[in-house]
Structure 1
Amino acid sequence: MKDTLVKPRSRGRMRLLIGTACAAALVVSGMVIAPSAHAEADRTLSQNSTGTHNGYYYSFWKDSGNASMTLRENGRYSSRWDGSTNNWVGGKGWATGTRRTVSYSGSYQPNGNSYLALYGWTRNQLIEYYVVENFGTYNPSSGATRMGSVTTDGSVYDIYRSQRVNAPSIDGTRTFYQYWSVRQQKRTGGTITTANHFDAWARAGMQLGSNHSYQVMATEGYRSSGSSDINVWEGGGNPGPSPTSSPGNPGQGNCTAVLSAGQQFGDRFNLNVSVQNVSNWTVTLTLNGSQWIQNSWNASVSGTSGTVTARPNGSGNTFGVTIMANGNWTWPTVTCRT
C-alpha cells in the first residue's frame, strides 16, 4: 500500500476516498489476538495524513475547508467539519482488511450529505467496498445496480454494485467495481460481521480480490457539516486494549475453530466455539491477563485460567464458555487439533 494520498475523483454523488486512495463470527485457525501497550497522546489532524496511532491504522483526507479529526485512545477518533468543506473523509481501523468481526460505538451527527461506513479496498481484482451503517440526506448507493440483499447483525442490507471508469484508485487511474451493503435500519453502534457481507457479495457474483488493502470505520462529509465520535475495535463486546494480530500455530489437519459472540454482561461475556471438519478434536483457549472461565457448556473443559482445554462430551461440535473479563475484553487465542 502506498503512503501517498490520492486526489478525489470527480463525482455527482458523495464518494468515500481515504488515504492512499462490519452474533459476530470470526474464523480462527491459530489466530492470536493480543493486547498491545500503546499510550500515544491525542493528536488532531487538519492536513492529509495516514499512519498508525495507539495500535490502529488511520487515514485523514480533505480537499478544502474546515475539517479535522482527532485521534484518541485505542480505536477512537472524533471529527468535526463545517459547510466550507467540499469533501473530507477519515477514520481508524486496520492496515490490512480481512473477514474480521468489527464492533463500533459512538455518536454521529450529520447535517446534509454524509455517511458512516466500514470501508476498504482489495487488489488482484481491484475492488472498492463499503458497509454503510448510517448516512445523512443522501443514500450513497444511489445510481448503483441492485444485486440483492443480506440479513445480518439485526437488519437487512441492500447490496449494490457500481463501476468507476478511468477513476483514481489506490493504484492510480483505473477502471474498477465498487461493492456496497447499505443498512436499511440506520444505526451508530453495533457489530459488523464482515464475512457475511463478503459471502453475500460472492453469491451475487461480486468477487473480492485476493490481496486486501486497508479496512477502516470511516466518517465522510460532502458539502455538509457535522460531527462524529467513533470508537472501533475487533471482536464483539466492549473494547479492550488496542489489539494487534499475528499468525499463531496452525491447527492440525482440517480442524478449524469458529468463534462467535454470545451475550455480554457488565463483568463477563459469552463466546461460542464451533469446530469444523472433524468430530474428534481438542480446542485450546489461551485467556488474556486475569480473565478466567466462570462456566462452560456442551464440552468437557479443563482449567479455568491461562490455557484452557476443551474436548467433545457427546453434545456435538459447538460449545460455549463464559469468561470473566476482569477489565480485559480481548477474545482469547484459539487453536484446534485432531
Structure 2
Amino acid sequence: MTYRLATSVLTSVLFLALAGCDTPSAPESAQPPASAATAAPAPEGKPPITKFTAYTQRFDGQTLLTQSHATGHVGDVFFTHWKDGGEASQQLDDQGNFKIDWIGGNYNYVGGPGWDHGDRNRVIGYHLNEDAGASFVTLYGWGYDKMMDPTDPAHLVEYYIVQRWTFLPGQGGEQGASFVSNGVEYTTWRTVREQKPSINNTATFYQYWSRPAEQMPLGVDHTIVFADHVKAWESNGWKLPDMNNFDASDDPTYQVFAVEVFGVEKGGSASGRVWDAGR
C-alpha cells in the first residue's frame, strides 16, 4: 500500500497489513461519530465481496473507523483503513466526504475512500479542505493478472498518482516519460519490490508512479484523468494488469484516494471529498 526503498520500514510494514498478515482475523466493528452506524445490506445489483468477509464491512450514513484494518463500503463508497499503531481515524459518509485525523509518532497509517476495483477510464474528482503534513495524498490502487508468470514483476502492480507529499515519491526508481494531463505536468517513475507483502501474499512486483511538478493546492476542485497516466506508463513499456478482479489472495484490486502518514512528528488532519467526475 505504500512506497519505500529496501532500506525503509514503511513499505514492508504497510504491505504486510494489506496482505492481511499471515493469519488474518476479523476487524473490530466500525464506530459511529455520534449515533449508531448500522451495518447495511448490499444494494440490489451490487453483491458484497464475499471472498474478503474478514475485512469487508458495509455501513449506512456517516461512519467513524478506528480499528486497525478494514475494507468495506459506506453506502456505495468503498474505503480502506489500516494502521500499525498510534492513533488515527477516518470519518466517511456515503457522499465521499472524509476526514482523517492522526497523532505524531513512529507508526504508519493509510486509508481513504474510492472504489472496490480500478477502471482505466475513470475520472476522479477531489477537493481537499486541509492537509496538515500527510506523507502522501495520492490516488492509489493495484492491478493483478493471475495468469502471468508470478516471477515476472509485471504480473502485480501497485500504482500511485501522488498529489501532495512530505516524503518524495518515486525516489531511487527508474524515471520514465513526462506528460501533461488536465493542465498538470507529471513525471513517471517505476520501482520494484522483491518478495514483499502485497494484496497477493508475498510477491515480487512493480510500483508505478506519477508525480506532478508542483504539489496540488488546497481549497479547489481537482481532476485526475486516470487514462492519461495509464497511457504514459504504457509509453514506457509499463503495462497495468487487470484492475477489476477478486483473484488476489488478500484484497480486491481496489482504487482509492488515500491519505498516508508514517513517522510524522506532529498530529494533524486531512479532509475533503472524492467523487467520480466522469459521471
TM-score in terms of structure 1 length? 0.59
Q: Which runs of 5+ in 2 are unaligned?
A: 20-45, 47-57, 146-154, 245-252
Whole-angstrom distance in 1 between the partners of 2:241 and 2:135:
27
> In the alignment, which of 187, 193, 202 is matched to residue 225 of structure 2?
193
Q: 2:104 aligns with which of 71, 83, 86?
A: 83
2:255 to 215, 222, 230: 215
- 101-110 or 194-203: which moved more? 101-110
CA 1:200 to 1:9, structure 2 compared with 1: closer, same or farther past 3 Å?
closer
Once the two structures are TM-superposed, the CA of residue 211 in structure 1 deviates from its matched residue by: 4.0
**Which of 143, 155, 159 is residue 129 of structure 1 equivalent to?**
159
Name which one, 1 or 2, has greater alpha-carbon Rg. 1
Are the aligned partners of 1:135 and 1:186 in contact in 2 as well (CA < 8 Å)?
A: yes
Which amino acid in the other structure matches residue 12 of structure 1? S
CA-CA distance at 1:39 after TM superposition: 9.0
How far 1:10 moved relative to its partner?
A: 7.5
CA distance in 1, matches of 2:181, 2:192: 25
Aligned residues: 215
Distance verdict in 2 for CA 1:14–1:147, change over 3 Å: farther
**CA 118–148 in structure 1, closer or farther in 2 if over 3 Å, else same:** same
Offset, 1:66: 1.0
Q: Distance in 2 between matches of 1:18 and 1:133?
A: 24
Q: Secondary structure at the match of 2:224?
A: strand
CA RMSD for the aligned pairs?
A: 2.7
Q: Which residue of 2 aligns with 1:40?
A: 60
User: 1:226-254, CA deviations, whole angstroms, 9 ceiling, x for partnerless residues?
Assistant: 21112111125xxxxxxxxxxxxxxxxxx
SS of the residue 1:198 aligns to: helix
Under a length normalisation based on structure 2, what TM-score does the superposition of the two structures give? 0.70
More strand per residue: 1 or 2? 1
Runs of 4+ in 1 over 3 A off after TM superposition: 8-11, 13-21
Aligned to 1:289: none
Structure-1 residue corresponding to 2:50: none
Equivalent in the alignment of 1:171: 200
The letter of the residue matching 2:183 is G
Identity between Structure 1 and Structure 2 (%) = 34
Q: Summarize deviations over 1:204-243 as a string: whole Å, max 9, x none.
A: 110000243100000000111321112111125xxxxxxx
More helix by share: 2
Secondary structure in 2 aligned to 1:202? helix
Whose relative contact order is higher, 1 or 2, with alpha carbons under 8 Å and at least 6 apart?
2
Matched residues in 2 for 1:183 and 1:158: separation?
Answer: 6
Q: 1:57 & 1:9 partners in 2: Cα distance?
A: 29
Q: Distance in 2 between matches of 1:39 and 1:63?
A: 23
Cα 1:59–1:228 change in 2 (3 A) is: same
Q: Which amino acid aligns with 1:232?
A: V
Runs of at least 5 residues in structure 1 that lack an aligned partner in the other structure: 22-35, 237-330, 332-338
Q: Could you list the per-position Cα deviations for residues 238-278 of structure 1 after superposition, in whole angstroms to 9, with x for gaps in the alignment? A: xxxxxxxxxxxxxxxxxxxxxxxxxxxxxxxxxxxxxxxxx
1:1-338 counterparts in 2 under 5 A?
12=8, 14-15=10-11, 20-21=18-19, 40-47=60-67, 48-99=69-120, 100-111=122-133, 114-124=135-145, 125-136=155-166, 138-187=167-216, 188=218, 189-212=221-244, 213-224=253-264, 225-235=267-277, 331=279
Stretch of structure 1 that moved more, 12-21 or 80-89: 12-21
Give yes or no for contact 1:18–1:90 (8 Å, CA) kept in 2.
no
Deviation at 1:140, TM superposition (A): 1.9
1:73 Cα shift? 3.8
Question: 2:189 aligns to what SS in structure 1?
Answer: strand
SS at match of 1:86: strand
Q: Return the letter of the residue paired with 1:209.
A: P
What's the CA shift string for 1:299-337, capped at 9, x where partnerless?
xxxxxxxxxxxxxxxxxxxxxxxxxxxxxxxx4xxxxxx
SS in 1 for 2:228: helix
String of CA shifts for 1:83-132, please: whole Å, max 9, x gaps: 13510000000001012000000223233x61100000000121000000
Q: CA deviation at 1:184?
A: 1.3
Q: How much does 1:165 deviate?
A: 0.3
